[in-house]
Structure 1
C-alpha cells in the first residue's frame, strides 16, 4: 500500500508540475508583452503592445485555477501550509490578475512579481516575509516573462516594435540568466541537506544533464538574438523555461516544499488520488481544446489585421 501511495503521489506531483509549466509557457508571452508595454515611450506604441497581449489570457489562466484545484485535492497539507503562510503574495497575485482583466498593464507586472515571491518562498524558508532570496527569484521571474514577451515580439510586423523587442530580449535574457545562476548557487546555502541529496549518482547524472542542456540552450538563445542560430529566440526562450522548471522539480523531489513537507506526507489518501484521476483526466482534454480554439481565433484575428 505504501508503494502504491508513493507511486500515486509522484504521478500527481508530475501532473501538477506539467499543469504549472503549461500555464507559464502559454501565459508567459502575454504577461511579458504586457510588462514591456510599461517600458514603451510612446502612447501609440504602448497601445499596440497592449492590443497584442491578453488575447488568450482567459484560457491560459484556467491552468492556474486547475493547478490550485489539484494542489487542494492531491496535496491538502501543502495547500493549507501555502495558504496560511503565503496569503499576502497570493492576494497580490489575485489582485494583479484582476487588474489585468480590467486592462491595466501594471496588473501583469504585479502578477509576475507575486508569482516570483511565491516561488521564492516555496524554494526558500517559507517565512511569509520578504527576504533577499525571494526578491532575487521575483526579479528572475519578471525578467523571464519579459524575455518571453520580447522574443514573441520579434515576429511582430511593425519594424519599430521589432527593433525595440530585440534590445529588450537581449537585456532581459542576460538578467534572467544572471538570476538563474544566482538562485542555483544560493539554494544549497538555504537547504544544506540538498547538497547531500544531489550527490547521489542518479541525481548527479540527471541534474548534470539538465545543467548542460540549460547551458547549451542559453548559448543558442544569445546567438539567436544576435542574428545567428537555427531556431528563433522564442523557441529557445520557451525551451530554457521548460528545462529550468524541470531541473527545479527534479532537484527538490521527493519534497513538495523543501525543508517542510515531503511528497508522501503532503499527499491525500490513495483512494482520493485515484478518484481525482477520473475528473482531471476528463478535464485536461477540454482545457487543451479550449486553449487551441483561443489561439486559433487569435491567429486568424492577427492575419486579418495584417
Structure 2
C-alpha cells in the first residue's frame, strides 16, 4: 500500500506550526506583558525565564517554511506573494526582538529604548502572524497555480481581528508560563493579569468562530452541512471546560495548570482551524493533493525530515528539562 505523502507532509507541517505557536507564543507573550511591569527586576526575571530556550523555539518556524517549500511549492509561491508585507514586517519584528533581547542587558543609558524594541518587535511579529492567519482563512485568490489577487488583499477587518486574537493568545501563554516559572509578588501579579486575559481570549475565539461561520459559507458547510457536527462538537465544549479549569486553578493557586490549560486552548483553536479548511491547504479551493510536489521530491525530503526532526524534538525537550524549575531575581547563570 502506497503512503499518502501529501497527508504525511500536511501532518508534519501542521505539527511544526503548532509547536512553534506553543513555544514561541509564550516568549512573544512575555514581550507583550512587559508594559504592565515597569520594575527592572521584574523585567529581568521575565526575560531570564526564556533566556535559555527562546532562540530554539523558532526552529519550528523554519521547519514549517522549509516543509512548505519542499512538499507544497504551490502554497509557498502563492501564500508569500499574497502576504509579502505582513511577512516582511513579521521578520522585522523578530529581528528587533532578538536584537533587543541580546543587547538590553549590555546597555546602560539605552536600556529603555531596547525594552521598547523588545515590546514593539514582539507585538509586531504576533500581529502579523495573526493577519496572515486571517488572510488564509478568508481565502486567497489563485488562478492556474498562481496568486491572482492584489497586494493588499490580506488587509481586512477580519484579518486585523485575527491579529488581535493572536496577540491575546500569546499574552495568555506568556502569563501562564510566568506563573509556572516565577514565585512571590511577580507570580501574584501574573495571576491577576491572567484572569482578564483568558476572558478576552474566550471572547476573541467566540467572535472569530462566529465570523468565519457567518462570513465564509464553505466553513459553515464544513461544520454544519457535512453531517460531522457530532464529531466536531467536542471542540467548543472543551474550550469552555478549559477556561473554567484555568479560573479554578488560579483560584486554587495551582502553578502548572493555567499554562497547560492555555496550551490546550491553543490546541483546540488550532483544531478548529484545521476542521474549517481541511482538506484545503490554501482556502477556498487548493487541496493538499493539488498543491503537492512530485512523489519523489516529497519522499526525498521526508527521509531527511525523519532523521532531523527527532533530533530537534529531543534537543528541545532536553533544554526545557535542564532549565526546569523556578527563576528568581539574582539567580546565577543569567547574566
Q: TM-score, normalised by structure 2?
A: 0.83
Match of 1:208 in 2: 233
Match of 1:217 in 2: 242
CA distance in 2, matches of 1:302, 1:155: 10
Structure 1: state its 5+ residue gaps: none
Asked if residue 289 in structure 1 is aligned to residue 303 in structure 2, the reply is no
CA distance in 1, matches of 2:50, 2:82: 32
Match of 2:275 in 1: 250
Which of residues 97, 121, 138 is equivalent to 2:94?
Answer: 97
Match of 1:165 in 2: 190
Structure 1 residues 229 and 201, CA, compared in 2 at 3 Å: closer, same or farther? Answer: farther
Asked if residue 144 in structure 1 is aligned to residue 169 in structure 2, the reply is yes
Describe the superposition over 1:98-140 as per-residue Cα deviations: whole angstroms up to 9, x where unpaired. 1111124221121111111111111114453421111111111
Q: Counterparts in 2 of 1:1-150, with a 5 A limit?
A: 7-103=4-100, 104-106=117-119, 107-126=121-140, 128-150=153-175
Asked if residue 275 in structure 1 is aligned to residue 300 in structure 2, the reply is yes
Asked if residue 226 in structure 1 is aligned to residue 239 in structure 2, the reply is no
Q: Which has the higher helix share?
A: 1
Kindly indicate whether the alpha-carbon contact (under 8 Å) linking 1:38 and 1:105 is maintained by their aligned counterparts in 2: no
Q: Report the alpha carbon displacement of residue 291 of structure 1 after superposing the two structures with TM.
A: 1.2
CA distance in 2, matches of 1:113, 1:253: 24
Match of 1:305 in 2: 331
- Once structures 1 and 2 are overlaid, which stretch shifts more, 272-281 or 42-51? 42-51
Describe the superposition over 1:154-177 as per-residue Cα deviations: whole angstroms up to 9, x where unpaired. 234442211220121111111111
What is the SS of the residue equivalent to 2:281? strand
State how many pairs are aligned: 303
CA distance in 1, matches of 2:37, 2:285: 42
Describe the superposition over 1:253-303 as per-residue Cα deviations: whole angstroms up to 9, x where unpaired. 011122142221111122222222101101111111221232234337948
CA distance in 1, matches of 2:124, 2:256: 31
CA distance in 2, matches of 1:200, 1:10: 24
Q: Report the alpha carbon displacement of residue 56 of structure 1 after superposing the two structures with TM.
A: 0.8
Structure 1 residues 52 and 34, CA, compared in 2 at 3 Å: closer, same or farther? Answer: farther
Q: TM-score, normalised by structure 1?
A: 0.90
Q: CA RMSD in A?
A: 2.4
CA distance in 1, matches of 2:80, 2:2: 28
Kindly indicate whether the alpha-carbon contact (under 8 Å) linking 1:152 and 1:234 is maintained by their aligned counterparts in 2: yes
- Once structures 1 and 2 are overlaid, which stretch shifts more, 166-175 or 195-204? 195-204
